[in-house]
Structure 1
């Protein structure tokens, strides 16, 4: 069990700025057996060390002058700029009443399907369970060796949960599956134009340009000259 010492807190609001500058982290404790919420200070660096290891389902023993209290981290407020914790809510649950919690999934072992050229697609990374607070596991393991062939999948029904822990996810929900990698679409390059086609186009342009020049200069076409001679 992780232990964290507390200090009685009688400072609130804007006055907390000075306390935070001295490495103190304000918090509040409430829940089962606590008539009124208890304002506390804890050492910020000590909390950060614990938080790297503890999850929302891990109990922490808060030490008071009059004894200790087993609590869970209920909420953490952080600074928007530095992302450092600035306030902690600790909750003391009833130990005889089931609670719901999201537990991380940890994938262990090797999948034979990968050796066949398959790739693994993770659909779920955590799972919602229900159980007594002290029985909630730190994590749930998923055995990848169950994925033997391409298109095999592991569903919630394939997971063995600890005694007293019930999954709140549907049994048919897929956790991870083995599939073939997607093939990249081949880009077919456009055929380059033939040299003959390029020359024909160029000639056509020159002829058109020549006609435009004649019309612009007022030069008459041979057909127009013959018509004028007949009239005479």
Structure 2
């Protein structure tokens, strides 16, 4: 597993919004942390981390001379500007069992259109419990070879046997007939011009 290290800096607790340029506020908690600790991270580094490794990224956090293992538990963005607002990092032992919401990426959906099919997604993530080191950052599912009526369930994710879920029968997506929007063409006269019935005098057009 690639070792990703981010540095956390001490952040004094203050009332009001965090306004320090170039940093994003966050907290550390969990294994080896006596109490939830307010910290700040380099905003650019955090953005790159999430962009390359997802919102459940596994990381080593360097803080006050020690390095602890953990994962990104929650990330908050501004819903309009998408500005990074806050990040929670939970520290864990490397062999600790945890529960994560792992994102699912369905790929090659357009390939189904050749056969007049489409893939309908029901859920974009799956709840998985197991060893932290075995947790995937995301799950990729190729749907290009599926046929009409085929469904995607947990068994299709091909995860390690020790990783489990409570939703074994849950359907994450299904292949349906491609829905084609039918557009009525206007009636035309002999010259191909569209015909419009004239409105009667005093009659309001709808």
Residue 167 (structure 1) aligns with: 165
Residue 206 (structure 1) aligns with: none
Residue 221 (structure 1) aligns with: none
Measure, in 2, the Cα distance between the counterparts of 1:102 and 1:88. 16
Residue 89 (structure 1) aligns with: 88
Measure, in 2, the Cα distance between the counterparts of 1:182 and 1:15. 49
2:95–2:133 contact (8 Å) kept in structure 1: no
TM-score, normalised by the number of residues in structure 2? 0.71
Residue 200 (structure 1) aligns with: none
* In the alignment, structure 1 residue 118 sits paired with structure 2 residue 117: yes
Structure of higher CA gyration radius: 1
Deviation per residue, 1:165-219 (Å, 9 max, x gap): 2233242625231424346275786xx9xxxxxxxxxxxxxxxxxxxxxxxxxxx
* In the alignment, structure 1 residue 3 sits paired with structure 2 residue 1: no
Residue 203 (structure 2) aligns with: none
Count of aligned pairs: 190
Map 1:148-167; keep pairs closer than 5 Å. Answer: 148=147, 151-156=148-153, 157-167=155-165
Q: Which deviates the most, 74-83 or 151-160? A: 74-83
Q: Which deviates the most, 152-161 or 27-36? A: 152-161
Map 1:183-198; keep pairs closer than 5 Å. Answer: 184=182, 186=184
Residue 43 (structure 1) aligns with: 42
Which consecutive residues of structure 2, in runs of 5 or more, have no partner in the other structure? Answer: 188-194, 196-206
Cα gap change, 1:155 to 1:67, in 2 (>3 Å):
same
Q: Which deviates the most, 123-132 or 110-119? A: 110-119
2:102–2:125 contact (8 Å) kept in structure 1: yes
* In the alignment, structure 1 residue 33 sits paired with structure 2 residue 32: yes
1:111–1:144 contact (8 Å) kept in structure 2: no
Measure, in 2, the Cα distance between the counterparts of 1:79 and 1:182. 36
* In the alignment, structure 1 residue 65 sits paired with structure 2 residue 64: yes
Cα gap change, 1:25 to 1:118, in 2 (>3 Å):
closer
TM-score, normalised by the number of residues in structure 1? 0.65
Measure, in 2, the Cα distance between the counterparts of 1:182 and 1:134. 45
* In the alignment, structure 1 residue 133 sits paired with structure 2 residue 132: yes
Cα gap change, 1:16 to 1:129, in 2 (>3 Å):
closer
Measure, in 1, the Cα distance between the counterparts of 2:172 and 2:32. 40
Richer in helix (by share): 1
Deviation at 1:38, TM superposition (A): 2.5
2:118–2:176 contact (8 Å) kept in structure 1: yes
2:24–2:41 contact (8 Å) kept in structure 1: yes
